[in-house]
A and B are shown apart, each in its own frame.
Chain A
Amino acid sequence: MRIFPHHHRGPVRGRRVVAALAATSSLLALTACGAADMTRQSSPYAAARGAKTVTLSVQSWVGAQANTAVAAYLLEHELGYRVDTVQVDEVPAWDALSQGRVDAILEDWGHPEQEKRYVEGKKTITPGGDLGVTGHIGWFVPTYFAQEHPDVTDWKNLGKYADQLRTAESRGKGQLMDGSPSYVTNDKALVKNLGLDFEVVFAGSEAAQITQIRQFAKEHKPFLTYWYEPQWLFERVPMTEVKLPEYREGCDADPEKVDCAYPRTPLQKYLNTRFAEHGGKAASFLKKFHWTVADQNEVALMIAEDKLTPEQAARKWVERHEPVWKPWTR
Chain B
Amino acid sequence: MTATTTSVREQGPSRPPLASDGPTGPDGSRRPDRRPPAPASPRARLRALLLRHRADRRVWPLAVVALVLVPAAFLLPGAAGWPGSLAVDLSGPLGRAGDWIIDNRDHHPLFLYFFGHVSNAVVVSVRAVYVVLLAAGWTGVTALAGLVALRLAGVRLALTCVAAFAACGLLGMWVPTMQTLALMVVAVAASVVFGALLGLAAGMSDRADRALRPVLDTMQVLPAFAYLLPMVLVFGIGVPAAVLATVVYAAPPMARLTALGLREADAGVLEAAASLGATGRQRLLTARIPLARRQLMLGVNQAVMMALSMAVIASVIGAGGLGDRVYQALASVDVGAALAAGVPIVLLAVVLDRTADAAGDRLGAAPAPPSERHPLGRVFAGWYGWLLTLLAAVAVAVAGRMAGSALWPGSWTVPIAEPVNRAVAWMTDHLYSGVPVVGGTADWAARFTGWVLDPLRSGLQATPWWLLLALVGALGLLVGTWRTALTAVLALAAIGVLGVWEPSLDTLSQVLAAVAVTLVLGFAVAVGAARSARAQRLLRPVLDVCQTMPQFVYLIPVVALFGVGRAPAAAAAVVYALPAVVRITTEGLRGVDPAALESTRSLGATGTQQLRHVQLPLARPALLLAVNQAVVLVLAVVIIGGLVGGGALGYDVVLGLAQGDLATGLVAGAAIVCLGLVLDRVTQPAKEA
Binding site for B on A (CB under 8 A): 1-5, 7-15, 17-18, 21, 29, 32, 35-39, 41-45, 48, 58, 60-62, 65, 86-96, 99, 101-102, 117, 167-169, 177, 180-182, 201-212, 214-215, 218-219, 303-304, 307
Contacts and interface: CB of A to CB of B under 8 A. Distances in A.
The 4 A-B pairs with the shortest beta carbon distances in the complex, nearest first, are A36-B116, A14-B204, A14-B205, A182-B658
Contacts of A214: 560
Interface string B253-273: 000100110110000000000
A9 B262 CA distance: 11
Nearest to A121: B103
B239 A43 contact: yes
Contact of B20 (A5, A39, A209, A303): A5
B157 interface: no
Given A35-B113, A167-B565, A219-B432, 10 more contacts: A10-B209, A15-B207, A35-B116, A65-B328, A86-B320, A92-B237, A95-B232, A204-B643, A207-B559, A215-B560
B567 interface: yes
Contacts of B418: 307
B433 A177 contact: no
Nearest to B183: A44
A1 B676 contact: yes
B204 A11 contact: yes
B649 interface: no
B429 A207 contact: no
Interface string B85-119: 00000000000000000100110010111111101
A119 to B, nearest CB: 14
Given A36-B119, A169-B564, A212-B559, A14 B642 contact: no
B20 A203 contact: no
A168 B331 contact: no
Interface string B193-231: 000010011011111110001000100110000000100
Contact of B646 (A15, A89, A204): A204
A2 B213 contact: yes
Interface stretch (B61-69, B123-131, B349-357): B123-131
B204 A17 contact: yes
B202 to A, nearest CB: 8
B556 A2 contact: no
Given A4-B20, A95-B237, A86 B117 contact: no
Contact of A32 (B114, B655, B659): B114
A206 B645 contact: no
Interface stretch (B136-144, B333-341, B495-503, B522-530): B333-341
Contacts of A36: 111-113, 115-117, 119-120
A169 B559 contact: no
Contact of B644 (A32, A35, A208): A208
Contacts of A206: 331
Interface string B389-427: 000000000000000000000000000011001000000
Contacts of B599: none
A4 B256 contact: yes
A14 B208 contact: yes
Nearest to A233: B333
A218 B113 contact: no
Contacts, number: 281
A14 B201 contact: yes
Nearest to A29: B114
Contacts of B220: 1
Interface string B322-333: 001001101111
Contact of A207 (B1, B201, B331, B687): B331
Contacts of B421: 307
B205 A38 contact: no
21 contacts: A1-B680, A5-B20, A14-B204, A14-B208, A32-B117, A39-B106, A65-B328, A86-B320, A86-B324, A87-B324, A92-B317, A99-B106, A101-B236, A168-B445, A168-B567, A201-B645, A205-B644, A207-B643, A208-B643, A212-B564, A218-B432
Contacts of B213: 2
Interface size grouping (class) on chain B: 35 or more
A169 B560 contact: no
A219 B112 CA distance: 58
A207 B564 contact: no
A35 B515 CA distance: 50
Interface in B9-25: 17, 20-22
Given A41-B119, A91-B658, A92-B657, A201 B564 contact: yes
A1 B674 CA distance: 11
B333 A4 contact: no
B316 interface: yes
B113 A88 contact: no
A69 B237 CA distance: 20
Contacts of B628: 1
Nearest to A170: B565
A17 B201 contact: yes
A153 B606 CA distance: 67
A58 B328 CA distance: 9
A10 to B, nearest CB: 6
Contacts of B331: 60-62, 65, 87, 206-207
Contacts of B446: 167-168
Contacts of B655: 181-182
A118 to B, nearest CB: 9
B236 A88 contact: no
Given A208-B564, A304-B333, A41 B123 contact: yes
B249 interface: no
A48 B106 CA distance: 26
Contacts of A102: 237
Given A13-B280, A38-B105, A169-B565, A205 B21 contact: no
A218 B432 CA distance: 10
Contacts of B127: 44-45
Contacts of B643: 204-205, 207-208
A169 B651 CA distance: 15
Contacts of A2: 213, 217, 680, 684
Given A3-B3, A96-B237, A203-B645, A21 B197 contact: yes
B566 interface: yes
B279 to A, nearest CB: 10
Nearest to A31: B117
Contacts of A215: 428, 432, 442, 559-560, 563
A182 B659 contact: yes
A210 to B, nearest CB: 5
Contacts of A86: 237-238, 318, 320, 324
Contact of B564 (A42, A48, A209): A209
B177 interface: no
Contacts of A96: 236-238, 318
B647 interface: yes
Contacts of A32: 113-114, 117
Nearest to B234: A38
Interface string B624-644: 000010001000000000111
A38 B560 contact: no
B550 to A, nearest CB: 14
A42 B102 CA distance: 19
Contacts of B442: 215
B660 interface: yes
Given A36-B119, A168-B445, A89 B17 contact: no
Contacts of A219: 432-433
B648 to A, nearest CB: 10
Contacts of A43: 123, 238-239, 320
A168 B119 contact: no
Contact of A101 (B237, B259, B262, B324): B237
Contact of B204 (A13, A65, A167): A13
B651 A202 contact: yes
B449 interface: yes
Contacts of A35: 109, 112-113, 116
B476 to A, nearest CB: 13
Nearest to B487: A2
